[in-house]
């Protein structure tokens, strides 16, 4: 029996699962992705990563502005797929569409559900200082990541992980897990397991404003903050009227009585800033020039005097 899957996804995170399902021999008659968006200074339309991957595989793609329309329903219903596989698609799929697959609509979620339900589980796990995360495949229902769990696999969060590095590993894990999920489901080896909704935590989408550093927080929390905000929206701070993005940093367990945000006395070519507890050693920074620079190179062109205060 050939298993038929309609795949729905948009960003880079969704590409490895699509490629894995195709490589495993499943039939993918249709891919659904978000509309192309303007990008860059020229504001040219940029195809979504999933659309690019699907086109390279020769799979038809549709990009509805709104997924829950009669036209989209008719297109997908005519295919009569066995499964939906939904990965970071970017729109809420209504019950009418979810009823189409013969067996199940399945979602790949980058957390250990019921923890971190929502749009930004990878970022929020790093921001929260977690040491462990993972991927859950679940049977979709009308709630936000509330469906019965199918398979779960854990993954360690490394001390230097950013949203980008952790997301890349989780995408590969999700690719392996979704193939195992579909195969196990068809073989009758998987029994859906309800989530404990009382233990649910949430991971709402990040906003640009959330990237501003609060120097009153402990240095270890700020280290997580810098990594969780990379690559978007970026952790930023101000020195006077100049805006700086902190790319890489390291928490230092040192005592200090200076107000949070104060530049401390440190070795030449280093920049150490007082936090609410401990201090943050800046390793890479981006100034208004737009160039990402190691801190030593940055300080040669923009000296920051001791006792200056970042806000």
Q: Which domains does the chain have, with CATH numbers?
A: 4-199 (3.40.50.170), 208-301 (3.10.25.10)
Find, among 180, 186, 189, 229, the residue nearest to 209 by Cα: 229
Scored b (16 or more CB within 10 A) or e, 15-52 reads bbbbebbbeeebebebbbbbeeeeeeeeeeeebbbbbe
CA angle 94, 100, 101 (to 5 degrees): 120
Instruction: Tell me: pLDDT of 149 over 80.
Output: yes
> Could you tell me the pTM of the whole model?
0.96
> Mean pLDDT of all residues in the chain?
96
Helix H or strand E encompassing 119: none
Higher-pLDDT residue of 197 and 1 is 197
**Distance from CA of residue 60 to its chain's centroid?**
26
Whether residue 255 is predicted with pLDDT greater than 90 in this model: the reply is no
Taking the CA atoms of 63, 134, 152 and 203 in sequence, report the sign of the dihedral they define: negative
Report how far residue 59's alpha carbon sits from residue 74's, in angstroms, rounded to the nearest whole number.
Answer: 18
CA 18/CA 11 separation, integer angstroms: 11
Cβ atoms of 136 and 151 closer than 8 Å: yes
Radius of gyration from C-alpha coordinates of the chain: 22
Average pLDDT rounded to a whole number, residues 21-32: 98
pLDDT digits (tens, 9 = 90+) for 32-50: 999 999 877 677 889 999 9
Q: Is the pLDDT of residue 9 over 80?
A: yes
Q: Distances from the Cα of 110 to the Cαs of 92, 127, 152, 167, 172, in angstroms? A: 17, 15, 10, 8, 11
State the DSSP H helix or E strand holding residue 183, giving kind and residue range, or none if neither: helix 163-187
Q: What is the pLDDT of residue 289?
A: 74
**Are residues 126 and 161 in contact, defined by beta-carbon separation less than 8 angstroms?**
yes
Residue range 50-74, pLDDT digits in tens: 999 999 999 999 999 999 999 999 9
Q: State how far the alpha carbon of 292 is from the alpha carbons of 159, 231, 246, 280, in Å.
A: 21, 12, 9, 18
Distance between CA 303 and CA 306 in Å, rounded? 10
């Amino acid at each position: 029996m050939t298993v038929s899957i309609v795949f729905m996804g948009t960003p880079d995170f969704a590409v490895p699962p699509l490629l894995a399902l195709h490589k495993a021999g499943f039939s993918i008659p249709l891919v659904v992705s978000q509309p192309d968006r303007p990008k860059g200074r020229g504001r040219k339309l940029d195809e979504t990563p999933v659309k690019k991957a699907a086109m390279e595989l020769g799979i038809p793609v549709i990009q509805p502005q709104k997924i829950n329309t009669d036209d989209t329903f008719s297109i997908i219903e005519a295919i009569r797929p066995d499964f939906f596989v939904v990965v970071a698609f970017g729109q809420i799929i209504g019950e009418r569409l979810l009823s189409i697959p013969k067996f199940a609509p399945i979602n790949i979620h980058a957390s250990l559900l019921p923890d971190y339900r929502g749009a930004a589980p990878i970022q929020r796990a790093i921001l929260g200082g977690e040491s462990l995360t993972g991927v859950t495949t679940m049977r979709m229902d009308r709630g936000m990541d509330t469906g019965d769990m199918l398979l779960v696999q854990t993954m360690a969060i490394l001390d230097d992980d950013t949203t980008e590095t952790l997301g890349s590993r989780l995408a590969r894990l999700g690719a392996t897990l979704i193939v195992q999920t579909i195969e196990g489901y068809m073989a009758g080896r998987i029994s859906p397991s309800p989530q404990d909704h009382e233990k649910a935590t949430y991971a709402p989408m990040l906003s640009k404003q959330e990237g501003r550093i609060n120097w009153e927080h402990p240095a270890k929390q700020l280290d997580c903050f810098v990594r969780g905000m990379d690559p978007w929206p970026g952790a930023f701070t101000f020195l006077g009227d100049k805006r700086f993005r902190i790319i890489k940093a390291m928490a230092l367990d040192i005592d200090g009585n200076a107000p949070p945000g104060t530049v401390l006395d440190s070795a030449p070519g280093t920049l150490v800033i007082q936090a609410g507890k401990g201090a943050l050693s800046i390793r890479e920074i981006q100034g208004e020039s737009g160039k990402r620079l190691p801190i030593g190179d940055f300080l040669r062109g923009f000296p920051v005097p001791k006792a200056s205060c970042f806000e």
